[in-house]
Chains A and B, each alone.
Chain A
Amino acid sequence: MSFEGLIIIMVSAAIVNNLVLIQFLGICPFLGVSKDMKSATGMGLAVLFVMFFATLVTWPIQMFLLEPNGLGYLQTIVFVLIIAALVQFIEIVLKRYIPALHVSLGVYLPLMTTNCALFAVTLMNVQKGYSLIESVVNSVGAGLGFLLAMTLFSAIRKHIENSDPPECFKGAPLTLIAAAILSISFFGFSGVIENLFG
């Protein structure tokens, strides 16, 4: 795979097919942890971090363990198991060797065990038939996209909090409307890849 191909995968995963805003995956952290910029960025970085390692682990398991034995259809349940164990393992390693990172990312790691965005990326890597390098690039791109969506939305929510909307829009309704508008704006990127590189 050429360098250009990797760039296309990265941009496509991060912006054009943004996990949260286009594919509507990982909506719960997107709405739940986006109240302030600091926790939103923390959550985004934690997803990026775990996504990278999850791809490194699940791709070989799919290619060398499940497929040769005709167990490809078990990928869903096996990936859930592997990712849950991996997150625990990462937490133990961070606690032992990089305590500073554990303090800043530690609270978000348990949320990662059943994160659907993370899970979807590992499954998509297999479905699209990516090689290991392509998979990793795709995951990092998707993680960056998640981080971007979280940071953007937390900044928007800060402005929403300072506004004075009609009573019926206060709280959740306005948050959901804002999320929808942000999502629509990202639909504007569709077709960018075909026209730029195609």
Chain B
Amino acid sequence: MDTIFIAIFSVTSIGIACAVLLCIASKVMYVKVDERVAAIQGCLPGSNCGACGYPGCNGYAEALITDLEVKTNLCTPGGSMVVEELSKIMGVEGGIISKKLAVIHCLGDCEVQQMKMDYTGIKTCYAATEVFGGQGACTYGCLGYGDCKIACPSDAICIENNLAKINSNCTGCGLCVKACPNKIITIEENFNAPVVMCQNHEKGGAVRKKCSKGCIACTKCVRECPVTAITMEDSLAVIDPEKCNNCGHCIEICMTKCIKAVV
């Protein structure tokens, strides 16, 4: 009988000794954490997307506390709600947050684009670009293997008919922009101008052979734009959002229907 009591007693006493030591250690080596850090972390979305430019929500919270120059309106996914809360915690003016959306500048799904080969290699966009620019005839457009979809933290990209599409979940964090090997994704702000949904810089005839929805550089939009906001740069229409009055005329007259409104 004694043995079991000795065992119980010794294990319990070792346990208590450990507990006491840990208690003392946590009191002696207490690190004062600014309580605002926890409060800020609480109201940030917590998806660690990096849209603010800091490594995760935690990094942004610490940057806000340590550097007073850091603005409270950097969290695009959180929107104006988060900006208000952050400003309240920090005791500063909030500033306006602009709504951002990612736009994929390509309409070339497998129905409109010609294929030049049957690609059976590694199924990522990055790998496909290394093999003659992917299986599609157009080497500027969307490859459709979804590198952007993998990078997206908010499930806002889906692949339909070999073409990536952005849905309403998009927060404009910009992670897909970095993931796309062909650099066809941009982040659009304010949406006061239509966008050209093509990135092909080849001459009209060459584009026409490859894809029925590409910009063929016909310059019709340049000539008909009432405020001359459109220019032709390297065989691709470019819309200047500063000049554009968002009349929508170019969307209607575009020969290949490759100019679209953002929303």
Contacts and interface: CB of A to CB of B under 8 A. Distances in A.
A78 B22 contact: no
Given A81-B11, A81-B14, A85-B21, A92 B122 contact: no
A89 B26 CA distance: 8
B22 A163 contact: no
A71 interface: yes
A164 interface: yes
Interface residues of B, number: 19
Contacts of A89: 21-22, 25
Nearest to A162: B122
A81 B15 contact: yes
A38 interface: no
B123 A164 contact: yes
Interface in A78-92: 78, 81-82, 84-85, 88-89, 92
B219 to A, nearest CB: 43
B10 A69 contact: yes
Name B's interface SS: helix
Interface in A28-87: 69, 71, 74, 77-78, 81-82, 84-85
B124 A82 contact: no
Specify the main secondary structure of chain A where it touches its partner: helix
A128 interface: no
A69 B6 CA distance: 10
A97 B30 CA distance: 11
B127 interface: yes
B6 A71 contact: yes
Nearest to B10: A71
Given A85-B22, A89-B25, A163 B15 contact: no
Interface string B1-34: 0000011001100110011011001100111000
Nearest to A88: B22
Contacts of A74: 7, 10-11
Given A164-B122, A164-B123, A92 B18 contact: no
B10 A93 contact: no
B21 A92 contact: no
B193 to A, nearest CB: 39
Contacts of A164: 122-123
Interface of B: 6-7, 10-11, 14-15, 18-19, 21-22, 25-26, 29-31, 122-124, 127
24 contacts: A74-B7, A74-B11, A77-B11, A78-B10, A78-B11, A78-B14, A81-B11, A81-B14, A81-B15, A81-B18, A85-B21, A88-B22, A89-B22, A92-B22, A92-B26, A92-B29, A93-B25, A93-B29, A95-B31, A96-B29, A96-B30, A162-B127, A164-B122, A164-B123
Given A85-B22, A96-B29, 14 more contacts: A74-B10, A74-B11, A78-B14, A81-B18, A85-B19, A85-B21, A89-B21, A89-B25, A92-B25, A92-B29, A93-B29, A96-B30, A162-B122, A162-B124
